[in-house]
Amino acid sequence: MSTGPLREGERVTFSDAKGRRHSVVLRAGGMFHTTKGGIRHDDLIGGPEGAVATSVGGDQFLVFRPLMHDIMVSMPREAAVIYPKDAAQILMQADIFPGARVLEAGVGSGALSIALLRAIGPTGQLFSYERRSEFADVARRNVRAFYGEEPAGWQVRLGDLAEAIGPEEVDRVILDMLAPWDCVDAVAQRLVPGGVLCCYVATTTQLGRTADMLRTHGGFTEPVMREYTARDWHAEGLAIRPGHSTSGHTGFLLFVRRLAPGAVAPRKRRRPAPGAYGIDYHGPRPPWVQTAEQAAQAGE
């Protein structure tokens, strides 16, 4: 993100007194038109960020460069994006650090890619897998628009992760896909001991099946599963209340860490709820859960 005086070719956001925003690319000789007259771009180019621009008719607008948060929620998209409230938790809880080797699958429109690339810095590597070429093209355009070019440490690979995964060892894996359980074996072979795997899923069914597959695999810690919501607040004098804008359910985040080769995690002490793996359950079973046939053979 740029600092210093505003320059021609930069994107800025005009915000009015009601909080309405307009995204504009500054051009020499350009004009931002409002219902009360225009604002000349030349009056802003070379000036400071955070200035107040006044139209001919007296409308005032704050002028700032857009933050990453603003870009992620407004960028062109072919697929749904991971919203900033979830992306922030991924960066923190997956411990994305400068120089990290990160694998993401389900690049979508590139919103999370933008955040990951900033976190890993110029010495890190990001391997982004996407099954659909049209999604990958949109992601590339969005990343180029944000950084001005494609970062040297970023590779976009087309194909199904389970089949197209490269030979590189990675420190972190983020899966944003419909069936992450299909890729557990593949990423387990590439994720270094102590590395973090994060899965982003939309439904409770996906969440449960992913957790059970990771338990069945045996090479990961017990999954930690969370959902995050965000709520605005209004505070003015004695009028303090929740705001009208609330970001509710967008997805679930699941985090595990890779065990050392041959290590076996201590068995989970809390027993599954009665019926958790009943006759109607057809998904993966952790090794300590018996099928009905196994229980009958054991005389239980």
Residue set of the binding site: 109-112, 130, 160, 176
Asked whether the beta carbons of 70 and 13 are under 8 A apart, the reply is: yes
Q: Which residues are annotated as a binding site for S-adenosyl-L-methionine?
A: 109-112, 130, 160, 176
51, β-bridge pairs: 63
Rounded to 5°, the CA angle 111-116-117 comes to 100
Query: What is the Cα gyration radius of the chain?
Result: 24
Say if CB 159 and CB 180 are below 8 A apart. Answer: no
CA–CA distance, 270 with 273 (Å, rounded to integer): 9
Contact 219, 258 (CB under 8 A): yes
Q: Exposed, middle or buried by CB within 10 Å (0-12, 13-18, 19+), for 164?
A: middle
Stretch (H or E) spanning 208: helix 204-217
User: Tokens in use for 212?
Assistant: 């059970």
Cβ atoms of 117 and 144 within 8 Å: the answer is no
The residue whose two tokens read 């102590």 is: 194
Residues sharing a CB contact under 8 Å with residue 45, sequence separation 6 or more, in sequence order: 5, 6, 7, 8, 26, 28
